[in-house]
Amino acid sequence: MVKVLFVCLGNICRSPMAEFVMKDCVKKRGLESNFLIDSAATSDYNEKYQNRIYPEVKEILKENHIPFTDRVSKQMRKEDYHQFDYILGMDEQNIRDILHIIGSDLEHKVYRLLDFTEKPRDIIDPWYYGNFDATYEDVKYGCEKLLEFILNSNQEMIK
């Protein structure tokens, strides 16, 4: 079982989008039973106010026929470091905040999602910059490349 945690600042835009896009990629490959996929926030704000996935994210997921379940934001906990194999931040600030939560990344589990692509870069926060279509394209590209990387590292999973 490969355990993947997507992390962003609020856990209401980028990381839940990545969670459901990745679940869809894995399902389409018939690999659901090999994966546990979740998402979390670096900040406590949206968990405190029980905020849910942002409506524009749900719209984009619907438009692209990506199944999802609505739920409230949750903050990443230090223990998550031991529960997950891959911890994917969306931008450099997320990585700094994740390292602040976990202490140190001794097992090299923490990456930016787009570090698995030919164009490593941040996924810009649509909460502040508003381009949800661009976010979806980045998230989809990152998830496809991440899945390729995981499958190459776990050859036994490829049917």
Active site residues: 8, 14, 125
Q: How far is the CB of 72 from ligand 4NP (least distance, A)?
A: 12
* Residue with the CB atom nearest ligand 4NP in the bound state: 10
Burial readout 106-120 (b: 16 or more C-beta within 10 A, e: otherwise): eeebbbbbbbbbeee
Contacts 24+ apart (CB under 8 A), 74-80: 74/11, 74/40, 74/41, 74/47, 75/11, 75/40, 75/41, 75/42, 75/43, 75/44, 75/47, 76/5, 76/7, 76/40, 76/41, 76/42, 76/101, 77/40, 77/101, 78/102, 78/103, 80/5, 80/40
The residue among 46 and 75 lying less far from ligand 4NP, judged by its C-beta, is 46
Binding residue (CB under 6 A) for ligand 4NP from 4, 6, 10, 114: 10
Q: Name the amino acid, one letter, at 124.
A: I
CB of 3: closest distance to ligand 4NP in angstroms? 21
Mask: binding to ligand 4NP, 106-135, rule CB under 6 A, as x and -? Answer: -------------------x-x--------
The least distance separating ligand 4NP from the CB of residue 153, rounded to whole angstroms, comes to: 27
Indicate whether 87 belongs to the interface with ligand 4NP (CB under 6 A). Answer: no
Per CB under 6 A, the segment of 6-14, 31-39, 109-117, 150-158 that binds ligand 4NP is: 6-14
State the Cα–Cα distance between residues 90 and 121, nearest whole angstrom. Answer: 9
Which listed range, 4-12, 31-39, 104-112, 140-148, lies at the site for ligand 4NP (CB under 6 A)? 4-12
Site of interaction with ligand 4NP (CB under 6 A):
8-14, 45-46, 125, 127
